[in-house]
């Protein structure tokens, strides 16, 4: 019969890892550019 594996509990983490990594990479690589773009758009549209 099949054995109980506690490693099964780690499957959600394994599935979440690629998304977390992609999210972190996008934030590190493009975070400051996105922030600059947001600030430019805000200054254009919003009244101080």
Partner 1 sequence: MKMTGRLAHVFAVIIALLMTLTLLLSALCAQATRLLSDEGLHQRVALDPAVSAAQMERITAAVGQIAAEQSFASETALSLITPEGLADYNRQVISWWMSLARPDAAMDAPQWDSEALENAVREDPLFQEAVRSTLRRTVARDQVGYPISLAVQETVLPVRTQLLAFALPMVQSYVNLSALVGYALNTPVLFAALSLAMAMLIVLLMGGDLRKTALYVGSALSAAALVTLLAMLTVHLLDPGAIVAQANALLGLQITLLLHQLGSGLGLICAIELVAGIGLIFLHQRRVRVSAGSAAA
Give me the residues that bind partner 1 (CB under 8 A), please: 1-5, 8-9, 11-16, 18-20, 23, 27, 35, 38-39, 42-48
| Dist CA 48 CA 33 (whole Å) | 22
Residue 23 beta carbon to partner 1: minimum distance, rounded to whole angstroms: 7
Residue 29 beta carbon to partner 1: minimum distance, rounded to whole angstroms: 14
CB burial readout 4-33, b (16+ within 10 A) else e: eeeeeeeeeeeeeeeeeeeeeeeeeeeeee
Residue 30 beta carbon to partner 1: minimum distance, rounded to whole angstroms: 13
């Amino acid at each position: 019969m099949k054995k109980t594996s506690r490693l099964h509990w780690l499957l959600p983490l394994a599935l979440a890892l690629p998304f977390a990594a992609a999210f972190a990479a996008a934030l590190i690589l493009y975070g400051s550019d996105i922030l600059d773009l947001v600030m430019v758009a805000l200054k254009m549209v919003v009244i101080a």
